[in-house]
Amino acid sequence: MLESLSSITFLLMNGLIWGLIVALIALGLSLIFGVMGIVNMAHGDLYMIGAVVTFYVVSLFGNFWLALLAAPLLMALIAAPMERFVLRPYEGNPSLTMIATVGISFIVQTAALAVYGGIPQKIPNPWPVNFNLLGVSYPGYRFLIALISIFILIGIWLFLYRTNYGILIRASMQDRDMANAMGINVNRILITTFVLGAALAVVGGVLAAPIYQVSYLMGNDVILLCFIVVIIGGLGSLEGTLVAALGICALEGVLAHFLSPTRARAAIFVVMVIVLMLRPQGLFGEKER
């Protein structure tokens, strides 16, 4: 009894920490959809870029934390033209943006295969300290990730809810035409939002790199989970995304104790179906958008 209780607590903790990383990535996805109407199928590949950049930064400079700065900056250089020249004509038309971003996804993946190669690489643990978590020696780095993620999430929340620019972004999210009519430079908001969303995915990739290894296909798994999270949370709802990311990952962790972890993964889809049956707009979504 005590053993299974400690096992559940362990899996719950582990799930929550992964949930925080997923929250970062999915928040970017949700923000981009909410403000711009872009269903970003390449979001998982932006996450992969974060991890690949981390690999190069660590091999060249030997410093992991440098990647946390370098990767989002590099992403900004890629994401801004991507929004302006590829996606701008299709914004607000989700099905067209899906096709455009699938194209981007192919290009990014194949470029990574050509440059980085098909062999997954390991990144040395940036903080090789282990804690004894309920009888399991638990890597301290994962706690650190959780902390960093919480800081970034708080930062994003402050930015969106406590700064003028954040208010402008949220205004464009609620009603783009009205925001435009009020004299807000919506085009600038669009670029900023896309870069911010992409940067969140990239930071997720940097943080996940030492846990999840670096491979050019690593985005494929994450993108699925992020879509589930965004759909359950309610399309375009930021708080919904956060709650759903933590909830889903924690639930998957706990279910892994009772079912096999493989079935726990499948169970998440069942949860999604049930949520969509009861609340088609998602947990925090509004009925009509």
Least CB distance from residue 130 to another protein, whole Å? 7
Residue 277: alpha-carbon gap to chain centroid:
25
Residues 6+ apart with CB under 8 A from 201: 24, 25, 28, 29, 43, 44, 46, 47, 50, 75
CB contact at 8 A, 21 and 205: no
Under rule CB under 8 A, residue 2 binds another protein: no
Q: Of 106 and 159, which CB lies nearer to another protein in the complex structure?
A: 106
Q: Of 159 and 258, which CB lies nearer to another protein in the complex structure?
A: 258
Cα separation, 66 vs 80, whole angstroms: 22
Under rule CB under 8 A, residue 130 binds another protein: yes
Under rule CB under 8 A, residue 289 binds another protein: no
Least CB distance from residue 64 to another protein, whole Å? 14
Q: Cα-Cα-Cα-Cα dihedral of 35, 69, 220, 280, to 10°?
A: -30
Binding piece for another protein, criterion CB under 8 A, among 176-184, 213-221, 238-246, 276-284 = 213-221
Range 10-29, binding another protein (CB under 8 A): 10-11, 14, 18
Under rule CB under 8 A, residue 96 binds another protein: no
Cα separation, 248 vs 240, whole angstroms: 12
Q: Of 265 and 279, which CB lies nearer to another protein in the complex structure?
A: 265
CB contact at 8 A, 11 and 253: yes
Residue 285: alpha-carbon gap to chain centroid:
19
Contact residue for another protein among 221, 274, 276, 280 (CB under 8 A): 221
Contact residue for another protein among 56, 127, 138, 143 (CB under 8 A): 138
Under rule CB under 8 A, residue 214 binds another protein: yes
The count of C-alpha atoms lying within 13 angstroms of the C-alpha of 247, restricted to the half-sphere facing its C-beta, is: 16
Q: Residues in the site for another protein, rule: CB under 8 A?
A: 3, 7, 10-11, 14, 18, 110, 113, 117-120, 122, 124, 130, 135-139, 208, 211-218, 220-221, 253, 256, 260-262, 265
